[in-house]
Amino acid sequence: MKPHDFDPELDLIVTRDMKAPPALLYKCWTTPEHLVHWFVPKPHRVAACHLDLRVGGACNTTFDIDGTLMENKGVYLELIPNEKLVFTDTYTEGWKPNPEPFMTAILTFEDLGSGMTRYTAIARHRSRETAAQHEQMGFSGGWGTVATQLEEYAQSLM
């Protein structure tokens, strides 16, 4: 992502250099049987996952947070294998508008060589208030924890 694309009023960001190749991290993000192992901070878990890897395809997850199920329905906007993944909850499958959209996720996997990847996850919001709400919900800690879990899980597959 180009630096000028980042809006500090609307975007929240986590960047990590990870000891795993971009293709493996991308696979962990785009394969349900991998995603369920790391995508929500433990001890919480992913209870269900349906991914249709195409622009407009479903990007649906259900989290089990202390016994409460939280559905997250969205669509993919951009998929560049091993480089970039963009999805949003602004729409659901079939381009149906979500009455209460929250964010768009922009993930990049920059190959640093020697099996290393600069992983960047940006959560883009429609307003300053929504971005602030996401930060108050624990974005930095939660998405940071998930990044650590992603790296550890990817390394377990190497």
**Encoded tokens for 34:** 């991998």
pLDDT tens-digit series, residues 30-85: 999 999 999 999 999 999 999 999 999 999 999 999 999 999 999 999 999 999 99
pLDDT band at 1 (very low <50, low <70, confident <90, very high): very low
Its pTM stands at 0.92
User: Looking at the DSSP assignment, which residues form a beta bridge with residue 86?
Assistant: 78, 106
Residue 125 lies in a domain: yes
Q: How many independent structural domains does the chain possess?
A: 1
145 pLDDT higher than 70? yes
Which CATH number goes with the domain that contains 58? 3.30.530.20
Q: Which pLDDT value is given to residue 4?
A: 52
Residue 142 lies in a domain: yes
Residue 2 lies in a domain: no
pLDDT band at 140 (very low <50, low <70, confident <90, very high): confident
Q: Containing domain of residue 47, as a range?
A: 11-156
**Encoded tokens for 47:** 């209870």
CA torsion 72-75-158-47 (nearest 10°) is 20
92 pLDDT higher than 80? yes
CA–CA dist 76, 85 (Å, integer): 8
CA–CA dist 83, 26 (Å, integer): 7
Report the pLDDT averaged over residues 14-39. 97
pLDDT tens-digit series, residues 107-130: 999 999 999 999 999 999 999 998
